[in-house]
């Protein structure tokens, strides 16, 4: 969760050779890479499941499969696992700031996973007091009127009339076929039909950045407030008892050991030559390439084409994955001398008080002098590092003009830690939902010895990804591997 929202973001692992690695003897052929030196043969590793991506979905699946008796190998492009579960430690104060995932849904599944990895938990209602401003217009926003009665009525209507009808919403995009018409209506219209419009500002805040809460398809709006998140939002969330969300992944890495390959690039994937398995050629930084022969492949990275362009995609896979688009998200820690307090971005004149986009959802104090969390939302998935920083400067300049932050904040701001969390909220259009996209996507599971996991298959929320793994992915792999 970013400040007050639950998120899962997985790393972009491009399955192609890094041009500056300069592996002697490698020759590119189209979008595949082949060994051209007959005097050398890479090391060969035989396993049950190769997992591409060491983010939330890939690591959770690896632990579950290991517990079931399967041998696994996780292939991660970055130098650490955990995806966008990131932290920054101030070198002077020693304060640890969770930049990515901060809180988790308070569900039995989440508790079991933390217990399995022996990471302590605490629970907290997680209320962050802050001043409210429209960051784009510089307008101070007064505290909201007491809406408790209206919100309680909306929660009851939502629970009884929506969640009771779509009981699968926390388990994955298990969309019925044919698709109910109301699932591709604009979400504001859907909310009005079921009398829960008072919940829309909360859904937008908990899922920053979810896109325009007014117009996004209702399917995605409901995904943004399933039973697990609803119960936590009106109760308590789970936090790592260590104060560091990455403790979960530190424990997982210790558990998996040499079954995780960090700083590793995929050079080639072959799902054709052996009908009973797949073959991957990978190169770990500083080591010779190796061949991984696996009975099954689990892809745990966002399946947008730029991430998987070098896979040996079938025509059907190309058509399905080409439908995806994403939003953008830029996260990190900024520092402004003299900064004090926390600020929430509230749209002064927008429907349901959504912040103007692009915009940061808030500047939240970290506990170190002058430091604050940033979280910029964009309506496109190709955000650059400089665009993320410039958005912070623009918002600071607007706040400085009304005296909310130091006058020179836009010029004096520095960025001790930043991270591009794009692609974020990987989705399709309402027309694609209507045309049965998710039934086609689900049909890919197990085909060509390949399974797929991650936020694109269930929603941007750690607990949702783990639900998807436990309900669909791990049972399917266990059955195929004869482990049941």
Residue 95: inside a domain: no
Q: What is the pLDDT of residues 134-146, one digit of tens each?
A: 999 999 999 887 7
User: pLDDT (tens digit, 9 = 90+) per residue, 321-379?
Assistant: 999 999 999 999 999 999 999 999 999 999 999 999 999 999 999 999 999 999 999 99
pLDDT of the residue at 123: 96
The reported pLDDT for the residue numbered 34 is: 42
- Is 363 a domain residue? yes
Residue 113, domain member (yes or no): no
Q: Residue 385 CB: number of other CB atoms within 10 A?
A: 13
pLDDT at 164 over 80: yes
**Pairing of the two strands 371-378 and 362-365:** antiparallel
> Is 374 found in the same domain as 355?
yes
**Is 118 a residue whose pLDDT tops 90?**
yes
Task: Give the Cα separation of 456 and 474 in Å (integer).
Answer: 17
Residues 409 and 434 in one domain: no
pLDDT value of position 18:
29
User: Are the C-beta atoms of residues 444 and 431 closer than 8 Å to each other?
Assistant: no
Whether residues 231 and 342 fall in one domain = yes
Chain center to CA of 253: 19
Write the CATH number for 349: 1.10.405.20
Residue 484 is predicted with a pLDDT of 79
pLDDT given for residue 275 in this prediction: 75
In terms of residue numbers, what domain contains 385? 128-235+325-425
360 shares a domain with 453: no
| Burial of 319: CB neighbours in 10 Å, binned 0-12, 13-18, 19+ | exposed
Asked if residue 375 and residue 274 are part of one domain, the reply reads: no
Q: How confident is the model at residue 206 (pLDDT cuts 50, 70, 90)?
A: confident
Pairing of strands 290-299, 450-452: parallel
**Domain boundary residue among 379, 409, 425?**
425
CATH of residue 68's domain is: 3.50.50.60
Give the end of a domain, one of 425, 457, 473: 425
Asked if residue 118 belongs to a domain, the reply is no
Q: What angle do CA 14, 59, 300 make, to 5 degrees?
A: 35
285 and 329 fall within a common domain = no
**Residue 114 included in any domain:** no
Residue 264 has pLDDT above 60, yes or no: yes
Across the chain, mean pLDDT equals 90
Max distance between CA atoms of the chain, in angstroms, equals 76
> Of 36-40, 102-106, 381-385, where does mean pLDDT reach its minimum?
36-40
Q: Is 216 in the same domain as 159?
A: yes
Residue 38 has pLDDT above 60, yes or no: no
Tell me the percentage of the chain whose pLDDT exceeds 70: 91
Mean pLDDT across the stretch 29-38? 41
Phi then psi dihedrals of residue 413, to 5 deg: -65, 135
Is the pLDDT score of 90 beyond 80? yes
The pLDDT tens digits for 231-252 are: 999 999 999 999 999 999 999 9
Mean pLDDT value of segment 418-438:
96
Residue 101 lies in a domain: no
Tally Cβ neighbours within 10 Å of residue 67.
11
Q: Categorize the per-residue pLDDT at 304 as very low, low, confident or very high, splitting at 50, 70 and 90.
A: very high
Do residues 143 and 214 share a domain?
yes
CA dist 277 → 42, 90, 174, 254, 299 (Å): 18, 46, 27, 28, 14
Q: Does residue 416 carry a pLDDT above 70?
A: yes
315 in any annotated domain: yes
pLDDT (tens digit, 9 = 90+) per residue, 210-238?
A: 999 999 999 999 999 999 999 999 999 99
Q: According to the model, what pLDDT value does residue 122 have?
A: 97
Q: In the predicted model, is pLDDT for residue 57 greater than 80?
A: yes
Return phi, psi of residue 479, to 5°. Answer: -65, -45
Dist CA 219 CA 196 (whole Å): 15
Higher per-residue pLDDT: 39 or 417: 417
- Give the pLDDT score at 274: 64
Question: Domain for residue 105, yes or no?
Answer: no
The DSSP call for residue 162 is I
pLDDT of residue 347: 95
* Cα(297)–Cα(300) distance, integer angstroms: 10
**pTM for this prediction:** 0.90
Q: Name the domain boundary from 425, 441, 468.
A: 425
pLDDT at 272: 74
Are residues 345 and 307 located together in one domain of the fold?
no
Q: For the chain, state the CA radius of gyration.
A: 23
* Residue-level pLDDT at 35: 43
Tell me the percentage of the chain whose pLDDT exceeds 90.
84
Q: How confident is the model at residue 458 (pLDDT cuts 50, 70, 90)?
A: very high
How confident is the model over 12-33, as pLDDT tens digits? 222 222 223 333 333 333 334 4
426 contacts 455 by C-beta, under 8 angstroms: yes
Strand pairing of 325-335 and 43-52? unpaired
Same domain flag for 335 and 224? yes
User: Is the same domain home to 345 and 395?
Assistant: yes
Count how many domains the chain has. 2
pLDDT on residue 13: 23
Question: Both 146 and 230 in a single domain?
Answer: yes
Say whether pLDDT at 455 is over 70: yes
């Amino acid at each position: 969760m970013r400040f007050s929202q639950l998120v899962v973001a997985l790393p972009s692992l491009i399955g192609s050779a890094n041009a500056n690695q300069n592996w002697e003897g490698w020759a590119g052929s189209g979008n595949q890479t082949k060994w051209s030196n007959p005097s050398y043969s890479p090391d060969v590793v035989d396993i049950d499941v190769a997992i591409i991506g060491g983010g939330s979905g890939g690591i959770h699946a690896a632990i579950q499969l290991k517990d079931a008796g399967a041998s696994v190998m996780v292939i991660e492009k970055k130098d650490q696992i955990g995806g966008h579960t990131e932290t920054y430690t101030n070198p002077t104060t020693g304060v640890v700031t969770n930049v990515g995932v901060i809180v988790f849904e308070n569900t039995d599944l989440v508790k079991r996973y933390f217990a399995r990895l022996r990471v302590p938990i605490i629970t907290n209602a997680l209320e962050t007091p802050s001043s409210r401003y429209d960051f784009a217009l510089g307008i101070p926003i007064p505290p909201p009127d007491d809406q408790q009665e209206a919100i309680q009525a909306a929660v009851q209507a939502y629970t009884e009339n929506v969640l009771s009808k779509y009981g699968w919403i926390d388990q994955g995009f298990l969309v019925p076929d044919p698709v109910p018409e109301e699932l591709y209506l604009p979400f504001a219209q859907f909310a009005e039909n079921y009398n829960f419009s008072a919940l829309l500002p909360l859904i937008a805040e908990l899922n920053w950045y979810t896109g325009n809460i007014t117009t996004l398809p209702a399917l995605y709006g409901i995904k943004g407030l399933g039973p697990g998140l609803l119960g936590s939002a009106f109760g308590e969330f789970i936090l790592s008892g260590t104060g560091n969300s990455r403790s979960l992944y530190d424990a997982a890495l210790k558990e998996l050991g040499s079954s995780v390959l960090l700083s590793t690039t995929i050079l080639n994937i072959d799902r054709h030559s052996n009908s009973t398995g797949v073959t991957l050629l990978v190169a770990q930084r500083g080591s010779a390439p190796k061949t991984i022969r696996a009975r099954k492949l689990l892809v745990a990275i966002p399946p947008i084409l730029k991430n998987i362009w070098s896979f040996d995609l079938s025509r059907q896979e190309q058509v399905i994955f080409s439908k995806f688009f994403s939003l953008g998200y830029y996260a990190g820690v900024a520092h402004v001398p003299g900064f004090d307090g926390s600020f929430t971005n509230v749209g002064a004149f927008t429907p349901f008080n959504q912040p103007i986009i692009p915009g940061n959802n808030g500047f939240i104090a970290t506990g170190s002098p002058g430091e604050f969390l940033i979280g910029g939302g964009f309506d496109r998935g190709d955000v650059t590092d400089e665009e993320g920083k410039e958005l912070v400067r623009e918002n600071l300049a607007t706040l400085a003009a009304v005296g909310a932050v130091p006058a020179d904040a836009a010029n004096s701001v520095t960025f001790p830690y930043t991270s591009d969390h794009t692609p974020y909220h990987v989705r399709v259009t309402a027309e694609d939902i209507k045309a049965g996209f998710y039934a086609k996507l689900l049909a890919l599971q197990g085909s060509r010895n390949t399974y797929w996991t991650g936020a694109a298959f269930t929603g941007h929320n750690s607990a949702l990804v783990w639900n998807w793994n436990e309900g669909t992915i791990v049972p399917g792999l266990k059955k195929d591997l004869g482990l049941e």
